[in-house]
Homo-oligomer: A and B are copies of this chain.
Amino acid sequence: MPRGVGELSSDNHSAADNQQERLIEIGWITGFVDGEGCFSINFIRQPGRIDRKGYHTGYQVAHEFVVTQGAKSVECLHRLRQFFGVGQVLVNRRHDNHKEHLYRYVVRKRDDLWNEIIPFFERYSLRTSKRNDFLKFAECLQMIRTNDHTTIGGMIKIVEIAETMNRCKPRTEIIRILRDYTPNIRW
């Protein structure tokens, strides 16, 4: 075989291999996140800072995509970090009788979630009930992007969505406080 043809053939082969590997990687990420991932929306009381943009309601919204693994499998989390190009791998040291430290791949920044994480899982669907959590998470992020969370009405809606996510932690206390709350600002 002429050298050129061999090279071309080998290049084509390698491009096809890379494409195969990438599709398997994409599938692996969706499966692993179906098993170990978590999309969560939380609320942090910030009553003394209602003059700050985003805290007008007395609450800050915290949004997080997390995948957790023991120390033995931390390499997988670094791989996720490399794939998405955003977020961090953080250690959660355990000094009790657990056998290994826990590691968490965490993405918290709004832009990183909006530009990298959400488009990926919109294109490549999760298959467990975690898909519903993801869709609610994306809906909350969309509302936050349009500053709905700076109004009491918008924040109550986000809290109501969040309380149906994951283990369905009731948020009645936060909703009650928000409904009773009349800070000295326009909303």
Residues of A that sit less than 8 Å from B by CB: 20, 23-36, 69-70, 72-73, 75-76, 79, 99, 124, 127-130, 168
Can you list 17 contacts pairing A with B, beta carbon distance less than 8 Å?
A: A20-B23, A24-B30, A26-B27, A27-B28, A28-B31, A31-B31, A31-B32, A32-B127, A34-B73, A35-B35, A35-B36, A72-B128, A73-B127, A73-B128, A75-B127, A76-B128, A79-B127
- How near does chain B come to A166, taking the closest CB pair, in angstroms? 11
Copies in the assembly, this chain: 2
Chain A contact residues: helix, strand, loop or mixed: helix
Q: Which of B27, B70, B76, B128 contacts A27 (CB 8 A)?
A: B27
Q: In the assembly, what is the distance between CA of A23 and CA of B130, in Å?
A: 21
Q: Are A23 and B31 closer than 8 Å at their CB atoms?
A: no
Q: Please, how many angstroms separate the alpha-carbon atoms of A30 and B27 in the complex? A: 8
B26 touching A73, Cβ below 8 Å: no
Provide the residues of chain B in CB contact with A76, threshold 8 Å: 34, 127-128
CB proximity of A50 to chain B, nearest CB, Å? 36
A25 cross-chain contacts in B, Cβ below 8 A:
27
Contact B31 A35 (CB under 8 A): yes
